Chains A and B, each alone.
Chain A
């Protein structure tokens, strides 16, 4: 019986377990007994707990621990949140065993230094899904960021997805773009920590959401609001 797996009892229990080691990776499994996919995923989680002994695995019954569920803005089960200490590494919505196994394969080793200098290449997921490189040089990261920024005429780097935003500012940005019938593409920075941190540095802008027009930072929510009101937004896209 592994000692890294815990069923969370209450908030103090949760905080105590996390705070034991702030360099440790934790996997949070938000589940509910009435959701069929959770039964399978709970088994998957137990296997992963055995495999990755150094990862703290916390099983959280979403409805009885509503405070924790809310604080992670979890809206559906199963949802998996991967943390290092208190820092969010990634989150996975839904019963995607492959994505979960992948995420652990990427993150569950020695604490990475940001933008590490090794030449290790990406590991391919269990069914051939692409995983972002475990470590890339700053140049490689910046090249990847520029490519992402130019993916579409209007790109929104946000928390969550347009249909499931994970933050009020991101939600409002999507609403404004949709209200003004702007075609845009988006990237969920919660799924990729290197993009999240790299973009802050590249664009010299410390917050998200970030609106990119024609490959260049236009600003955040406040500026998007101003541009929409003044008509500057339509001009920029004409």
Chain B
């Protein structure tokens, strides 16, 4: 894993966290900002490129996913984040599980 500058969460990350928490009451919610790995796109943008919020990996464990297919789970998340996706948020890598689905070694 390449070195990443440590940064405090930007507005998009905070929004992802608050919206998904409200929607899913997750037992686990980890958000990782991968935008830095795509920083070469930054030459195109007007911002200074230091806290890009374009690509995230989101790992959610929630009871709300029970009985739903992966596609349905992903759609729930996309719907909650439609404003962000219409603006700068460009890509989401999603891992969605119910508490029962998490392997014992991880819980």
Contacts and interface: CB of A to CB of B under 8 A. Distances in A.
Report whether over half of chain A's contact residues are helix, strand or loop; otherwise say mixed: helix
Nearest to A72: B44
Contact of B41 (A71, A207, A217, A219): A71
Nearest to A221: B93
Contact of B43 (A19, A67, A222): A67
A204 interface: yes
B40 A219 contact: no
Contact of A226 (B44, B46, B70, B93): B70
Contacts of B45: 86
B91 interface: yes
A71 B71 contact: no
A68 interface: yes
Interface string A205-235: 1110000000001111111001000000000
B95 interface: yes
A70 B43 CA distance: 9
B81 to A, nearest CB: 8
Contacts of B92: 207
A219 B71 contact: yes
A71 B70 contact: no
Contact of A219 (B46, B74, B93, B95): B74
A222 B70 contact: yes
Interface in B28-71: 40-46, 70-71
B46 A15 contact: yes
A222 B94 contact: yes
Contact of B71 (A19, A73, A218): A218
Contacts of B44: 71-72, 86
A114 interface: no
B46 A67 contact: no
Contacts of A71: 40-44
Interface in B75-107: 75, 78, 82, 85, 90-95
B75 A204 contact: yes
Q: Which 6 A-B pairs have the closest CB atoms?
A: A71-B43, A70-B40, A206-B85, A71-B40, A223-B70, A219-B71
Given A219-B74, A221-B93, 8 more contacts: A71-B41, A71-B42, A71-B43, A73-B40, A169-B91, A205-B75, A206-B78, A207-B78
Interface of A: 11, 14-15, 19, 67-68, 70-73, 86, 169, 204-207, 217-223, 226
20 contacts: A15-B43, A15-B46, A68-B43, A71-B40, A71-B41, A71-B43, A73-B40, A86-B45, A204-B75, A206-B78, A206-B85, A207-B78, A219-B70, A219-B74, A220-B74, A222-B74, A222-B94, A222-B95, A223-B74, A226-B70
